[in-house]
Amino acid sequence: MTGVEHQTLHKAPRCLIPFDRREGISIEEAAEISGKSAQTMR
């Protein structure tokens, strides 16, 4: 791994990014599924 790749790796968001946007759900939907508040999910 080069230095640039290493830096890019650490700057990448630490969340799951759906392959297809249609597979994503909103924060509110995720909160409802998990039984948490939307504020907690953020």
Domain boundary assignment for the chain: 3-41
Q: Going by C-beta distance under 8 Å and a sequence separation of 6 or more, which residues neighbour residue 31?
A: 37, 38, 40, 41
pLDDT reading at 13 higher than 60: yes
pLDDT reading at 37 higher than 80: yes
pLDDT band at 21 (very low <50, low <70, confident <90, very high): confident
**What span, in angstroms and rounded, lies between the C-alpha atoms of 20 and 34?**
22
**What span, in angstroms and rounded, lies between the C-alpha atoms of 32 and 42?**
13
pLDDT for res 32? 93
Element (H, E) at 5: helix 3-11
pLDDT for res 12? 66
**What span, in angstroms and rounded, lies between the C-alpha atoms of 6 and 28?**
33
pLDDT for res 24? 81
